[in-house]
Amino acid sequence: MRRHWTLLALAAFTLLTPRGGVAQDVAPRASSITFGGRLHAQYAASSADAAANDFFLRRVRFLADIEINDLVSARVQPDFAGGKVALQDVYVRLAFSSDFRVTVGQFKRAFDIFEQSSSTDLSIVERDGRIEGIATCTGVGGICSYSRLTQKLKYAERDQGVRVDGASGRVSYQLTMTNGTGINVTDENDTKSYAGRVSISVTDDVRISGQANLHDYVSPVTQEARALAWGADLEVGSWRDGAHLQASFVSGDNWRALNASFDEATFKAAQIVASYFHPTEGRLSGIEPLFRLSVGDPDVDTADDGGIVFTPGLMFYLEGKTKIGANLDVWSPQTGGTELSFKVQTYLYF
């Protein structure tokens, strides 16, 4: 009896084994899946006494873009930096037409241009220009840079909710309704945050945009409070194509800096990043010098509590978005001494 079972198993193995080295195709359930990712490794050294020079993995992200049909698509993008898994973009999109798409999941809020720009494109190493060991900016800690204020006040960066966006002619728009609590965090009340952004292409190389954000948060007095921020930005040129400039101004409620009456302070911030991509031949595909100037004031009613960040830098392109960049972030507060942070980052894009 055991012999019969052995012969039957051998026959089944022979029938099921591919012959002649023919590969077996495994068809995905989706129409198509495109895999990619990015690996950003950084070295950062700070002049602050409280900081240590550090090598670390800034981003380790794998991406799957899924297309079911012309209507339905999706993206899943986890990040493994720091030895922990944190979801980044995770959403399903319904593209009813080029001027009307609906996205549900986790994505970037409809706000400022520097958060909208991908880390694989940006010439600056860190959006907030952080100086390790410095945490003096009122309400948000760190230094009073443009992106530090917009990120920590939760007007920008990723959140969970619904986005509607589209483009028609020279006009494009984004509208988001989100929890307001940020990336991978459940809501803390029944109120939602709303943001909107409208862009106009004045010419093929010049784009202007305006944005507003009504952010909900839990205050010390009530479960439901709201803060408002607004801004405008300008972009000239495009990535890896000669001269490129991004400039923006934002203002609004610094709800993390409440006074004795629990009223929000008013913050203001502006930033400009200018770069020039010069194509080369050989092992390098391009060299890009850059400069960033960022001004931040966390409370316009308090004197000498802001400062300026300026960043000279240089980017070396190896192929496409695979590159090596170096930035020197210089923080000059209105009170106190100047501090520096030197950063080198490798960018692997695949």
Q: What is the CATH number of the domain that holds 58?
A: 2.40.160.10
Instruction: Report the candidate in 215, 208, 254, 259 with the shortest Cα–Cα distance to residue 231.
Output: 208
Decide if 343 is inside a domain. Answer: yes
Tell me: pLDDT of 261 over 90.
no
Query: Looking at the predicted structure, is the pLDDT value of residue 260 above 90?
Result: no
Listed in sequence order, the residues at least 6 apart from 262 whose beta carbon sits closer than 8 Å to its beta carbon are 219, 220, 221
What is the rounded CA–CA span in Å between residue 231 and residue 157?
A: 15
H/E/C letters for each residue in 173-193?
EEEEEECCCCCCCCCCCCCCE
Range of the domain at 111: 31-349
The verdict on residue 305 lying in a domain is yes
pLDDT band at 30 (very low <50, low <70, confident <90, very high): confident
248 within some domain: yes
The verdict on residue 120 lying in a domain is: yes
Question: Residues 44-67: what's their mean pLDDT?
Answer: 95
pLDDT at 19 over 50: no
% of the chain with per-residue pLDDT over 70? 91
pLDDT at residue number 23: 42
Residue 12 lies in a domain: no
pLDDT in tens, 297-318: 999 999 999 999 999 999 999 9
Residue 326 lies in a domain: yes
What is the pLDDT at residue 321?
A: 98
Domain count, the chain: 1
Q: Which two tokens stand for residue 60?
A: 């380790």
In a domain, 4, yes or no: no
Query: Would you say residue 13 lies in a domain?
Result: no
